């Protein structure tokens, strides 16, 4: 079985980029303060020149960060996935059930390999359509749409309302998946 986590490519999240810009601004303020601190009491540009020489790697990284950010935004524009999270159904239960899901531009998807790891599930989901691998979007493996899995879960629970086992846990988990998908689409 291919480990889909190793081949998935994600976009840089907005919170991570925001945190990086905050660090960049603090870096600039502290860097300026430390650079100028060494120049007090010196005549001419000798102190300022020495401070600039000693802090040159710092300032080079400071100048390159916006260029890196632009490169990353352009590169990430085509990628679909924003984050991967473990989605757990009923976390207070003695044995909570959860799978990792992909949150992206237009909703939630689940890797076929992740779902097939649940005992007895690969045969039960044969009628559900899968999305083909999309290298350009950074998802080189098949995925299920959350809406399709949620519809399957509702139908399965109508037929087996008192079901037990891994298949029943998965069917109940699809309700949590449906709520996550609705929240991601807002």
- Shared domain check, 129 and 65: no
Same domain? 32 vs 100: no
Q: What is the mean pLDDT of the segment spanning 100-117?
A: 91
Last residue of a domain, one of 45, 77, 109: 77
Q: Read off the pLDDT of each residue in 88-108 and give the average, rounded to a whole number.
A: 86
Q: Among 77, 92, 123, identify where a domain stops.
A: 77
Residues 129 and 53 in one domain: no
Q: Are 85 and 149 within one domain?
A: yes
Residues 73 and 88 in one domain: no
Greater model confidence, 138 or 126: 138
Q: Please check the confidence at residue 183 and state whether its pLDDT lies above 80.
A: yes
Say yes or no: 161 and 110 in one domain.
yes
> How many structural domains comprise the chain?
2
Phi, psi of 71 (to 5 degrees): -60, -45
Question: Both tokens of residue 34?
Answer: 């430390």
Residue 44 confidence (pLDDT) above 60 = no
Q: Is the pLDDT of residue 91 over 80?
A: no
Question: Which of 60, 77, 94 lies at the terminal end of a domain, its last residue?
Answer: 77
- Please report, in angstroms and rounded to a whole number, the separation of the first and last CA atoms in the chain: 34
**Residue 1: pLDDT band by 50, 70, 90 thresholds?**
very low
Strand order in the sheet with 107-111: 81-89, 97-104, 107-111, 143-145
Domain containing 56 equals: 4-77
pLDDT in tens, 19-40: 999 998 998 888 777 777 656 6
């Amino acid at each position: 079985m291919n480990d889909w986590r190793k081949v998935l490519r994600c976009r840089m999240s907005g919170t991570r980029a925001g945190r990086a810009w905050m660090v960049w601004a603090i870096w600039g303020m502290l860097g300026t303060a430390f650079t100028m601190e060494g120049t007090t009491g010196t005549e001419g540009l000798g102190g300022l020149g020495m401070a600039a020489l000693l802090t040159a790697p710092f300032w080079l990284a400071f100048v390159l960060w916006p260029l890196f950010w632009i490169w990353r935004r352009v590169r990430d524009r085509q990628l679909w996935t924003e984050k991967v999270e473990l989605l757990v159904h009923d976390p207070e239960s003695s044995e909570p059930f959860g799978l990792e899901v992909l949150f992206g531009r237009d909703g939630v998807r689940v890797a076929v390999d992740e779902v097939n790891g649940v005992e007895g599930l690969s045969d039960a989901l044969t009628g559900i359509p899968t999305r083909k691998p999309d290298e350009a979007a950074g998802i080189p493996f098949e995925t299920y749409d959350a809406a399709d899995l949620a519809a399957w879960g509702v139908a399965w629970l109508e037929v087996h309302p008192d079901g037990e086992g891994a298949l029943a846990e998965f069917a109940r988990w699809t309700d949590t998946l449906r709520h996550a998908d609705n929240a991601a689409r807002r």
